[in-house]
A and B are shown apart, each in its own frame.
Chain A
Amino acid sequence: GAGVSQSPRYKVAKRGQDVALRCDPISGHVSLFWYQQALGQGPEFLTYFQNEAQLDKSGLPSDRFFAERPEGSVSTLKIQRTQQEDSAVYLCASSPPVRDEQYFGPGTRLTVT
């Protein structure tokens, strides 16, 4: 079946612009995760949803970062007033019910100039 999809795959934003990154999880997966991956580093946890409920947002680096999953399926990660340090790959992952394995999308590479 279809895997996790993310769009756009690449995004270039000028400093100060707002961006919205989309994640479409695997059908039937109730858990959804967002990660930030800097060059040469492992993914860093940002936030977690179970269905539409955001159960943990402790990894969001500032209040400029906001995530939502209003209908328990597609999720959007929004970054307001982007800064150069926001440049990274943003990965989305989903996992099936009662399982811990996470299945990742290809990521969105954000470059802030």
Chain B
Amino acid sequence: QKEVEQDPGPLSVPEGAIVSLNCTYSNSAFQYFMWYRQYSRKGPELLMYTYSSGNKEDGRFTAQVDKSSKYISLFIRDSQPSDSATYLCAMSRGGFKTIFGAGTRLFVKA
């Protein structure tokens, strides 16, 4: 079993929809939780960075962390075709070693 599980999709939604992306994890020592967006043939781009449990909002993006359930989510409101990309969750204990999920491919149809 992998330390971080993420449904690879693909997930296809119409423009304007609310998108929900999720990851589960097994290591209760993880304290820092991140979401990255990766366009084809590009490096990952940091979207959200949170510490411990709770919610964080940034524009159309909301990240949620539920440490009791070992479950994290990213919500995208008013999705746009430009949001079409692979979304990677990532987490660490603090320090340096970051574990990534396999990524979920999202397609937003105009």
Q: Give A contacts to B, CB under 8 Å.
A: 4, 31, 33, 35, 40-45, 48, 50, 55-56, 58, 91, 93, 100-107, 109
Known: A4-B43, A40-B8, A105-B43. A100 touches B97 (CB 8 A): no
Complex CA gap A1/B92 in Å reads 27
Which one of A43, A102, A109 contacts B46 once the chains associate, using CB atoms below 8 Å?
A: A102
- Chain B residue contacts of A93, Cβ below 8 A: 43
Q: Whole-angstrom distance from the CB of A49 to the nearest CB of chain B? A: 9
Write the chain B residue with the least CB distance to A103: B46
The 5 closest A-B pairs by CB, nearest first: A42-B100, A104-B43, A48-B96, A104-B44, A106-B43
Which one of A33, A91, A101 contacts B96 once the chains associate, using CB atoms below 8 Å?
A: A33
Q: Quick check: A43 and B44 within 8 Å, CB to CB?
A: yes
From residue 1 to 36 of chain B, which have CB atoms closer than 8 A to chain A? Answer: 4, 6, 8, 32, 34, 36
- Chain A residue contacts of B88, Cβ below 8 A: 42-43
Complex CA gap A93/B46 in Å reads 11
Q: Quick check: B43 and A45 within 8 Å, CB to CB?
A: no
Write the chain A residue with the least CB distance to B36: A104
Complex CA gap A26/B103 in Å reads 25
**Could you name 21 residue pairs across A and B whose Cβ atoms are closer than 8 Å?**
A42-B4, A42-B6, A42-B100, A42-B101, A42-B102, A43-B44, A43-B88, A56-B96, A58-B97, A91-B43, A100-B92, A100-B94, A100-B95, A100-B98, A101-B46, A101-B49, A104-B36, A106-B42, A106-B43, A107-B41, A109-B41
Q: Quick check: B100 and A43 within 8 Å, CB to CB?
A: yes
Q: Quick check: A31 and B103 within 8 Å, CB to CB?
A: no
- Chain A residue contacts of B94, Cβ below 8 A: 100
With an 8 A cutoff between CB atoms, is B45 at the interface? Answer: yes
Known: A100-B49, A106-B42. A41 touches B96 (CB 8 A): no
- Chain A residue contacts of B103, Cβ below 8 A: 40-42
Which one of A40, A106, A107 contacts B102 once the chains associate, using CB atoms below 8 Å?
A: A40
Known: A40-B102, A42-B101. A31 touches B96 (CB 8 A): yes
- Chain A residue contacts of B41, Cβ below 8 A: 106-107, 109
